[in-house]
């Protein structure tokens, strides 16, 4: 294949997602319950990771066996639940950052309901401030909050050595629904969110240039989901 992505209509994307989800590992019953609850409670539930992304998180966590995980952007705690359940054997410590009081309350409900409080710590407030309160190193860092913050978060993490020597940073939504690549890249994007994602796209273009040019790291932008960047220290 000469290109790295297939061209999908929204209908094809839905069919492909359904097929991949069906033939991939199932997520846990608790994750399914939380996913359904979130969809029923929040108009912006599309901020939550999909079940296939949840299965990917579990796969990566069991593969990489991180001892400490940092997550920037908690929402209702779906990804935190995935990290928690996939690290039962290794008992990883999970720190998750969230700003919005409504989502803090929803996440705390998740952590209480599924008994996550022994290993998950929610740090409330703007991630830029919360990062400054952290010490030690993290083996896996999931960046999934405000898109204009990505460059600053990753720069801070690298400058302050918060990523362990073998650690991986995974940044989500780097395509900004396609707007990072070009404002013409996604004719299916609804008009009501186009301006929002166009702004995010500008910030993420800068983020991508930063990742490519920072001599300390290797990075790769994978055309999966809404674009996922993986970053590690250079060997
Ligand atoms: C895409 S959602 C996270 C989804 C979650 N990680 C998951 O996989 O289900 C992004 C979250 O980041 C939060 N957020 C936005 N800006 C933030 C900031 N400056 N600091 C901390 N959290 C922020 C939002 O309130 C939202 O809950």
For ligand 1, whether the C-beta of 139 sits within 6 Å is no
> Ligand 1 centre and the CA of 3: distance in Å?
32
- The number of angstroms, rounded, from the C-alpha of 163 to the middle of its chain's C-alpha atoms is 16
- DSSP run (H or E) holding 219: strand 217-222
Beta bridge partners of 97: 72, 123
Measured at the CA of 119, the angle between CA 116 and CA 124, to 5 degrees, comes to: 85
Taking each helix axis as running N to C, give the angle between helix 78-86 and helix 101-113, from 0 to 180 degrees, rounded to the nearest 10.
30
For ligand 1, whether the C-beta of 200 sits within 6 Å is no
Q: 33 with 85: CB under 8 angstroms?
A: no
> Ligand 1 centre and the CA of 98: distance in Å?
6
> Ligand 1 centre and the CA of 235: distance in Å?
31
Q: 57 with 83: CB under 8 angstroms?
A: yes
52 vs 35: CA distance, rounded Å: 12
Q: What is the DSSP letter of 2?
A: -
What DSSP letter does each residue of 55-94 carry, written as one string? HHHHHHHHHH--SEEEEE--TTSHHHHHHHHHTTTTT-EE
Per-residue pLDDT at 8: 86
For ligand 1, whether the C-beta of 79 sits within 6 Å is yes
Mean pLDDT by 10 residues, the chain (235 residues): 84 94 97 98 96 97 98 98 97 98 98 98 98 98 98 98 98 97 93 96 98 98 96 97
Per-residue pLDDT at 110: 98
- In order of their start, the domains of the chain are 10-233 (3.40.50.150)
Is 128 in a helix, a strand, or coil? helix
Nearest alpha carbon to residue 142 among 179, 186, 105, 87: 87
Atom of ligand 1 nearest to the CA of 145: 12
CB atoms within 10 A of CB 9: 10
pLDDT digits (tens, 9 = 90+) for 170-203: 999 999 999 999 999 999 999 999 999 999 999 9
- What is the rounded end-to-end Cα distance, in angstroms, of the chain? 29
> Ligand 1 centre and the CA of 188: distance in Å?
24
CA distances (Å), origin 179, targets 48, 171, 227: 19, 16, 11
94 vs 40: CA distance, rounded Å: 26
Q: pTM value?
A: 0.97
């Amino acid at each position: 294949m000469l290109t790295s992505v297939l061209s999908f209509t929204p209908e094809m994307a839905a069919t492909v997602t359904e097929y991949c989800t069906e033939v991939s590992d199932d997520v846990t019953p608790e994750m399914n319950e939380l996913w359904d609850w979130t969809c029923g409670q929040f108009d912006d539930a599309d901020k939550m990771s999909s079940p296939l992304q949840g299965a990917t998180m579990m796969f990566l966590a069991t593969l990489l066996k991180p001892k400490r995980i940092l997550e920037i952007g908690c929402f209702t705690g779906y990804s935190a639940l995935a990290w928690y359940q996939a690290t039962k054997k290794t008992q990883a410590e999970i720190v998750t950052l969230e700003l919005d009081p409504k989502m803090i309350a929803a996440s705390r409900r998740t952590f209480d309901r599924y008994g996550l409080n022994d290993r998950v710590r929610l740090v409330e407030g703007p991630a830029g401030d919360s990062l400054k309160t952290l010490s030690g190193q993290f083996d896996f860092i999931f960046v999934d909050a405000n898109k204009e913050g990505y460059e600053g978060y990753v720069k801070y993490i690298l400058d302050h050595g918060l990523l362990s020597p073998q650690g991986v940073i995974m940044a989500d939504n780097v395509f900004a629904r396609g707007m990072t690549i070009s404002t013409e890249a996604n004719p299916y994007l609804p008009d009501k969110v186009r301006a929002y994602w166009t702004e995010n796209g500008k910030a993420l273009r800068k983020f991508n240039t930063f990742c490519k040019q920072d001599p300390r790291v290797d990075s790769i932008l994978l055309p999966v989901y809404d674009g996922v960047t993986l970053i590690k220290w250079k060997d």
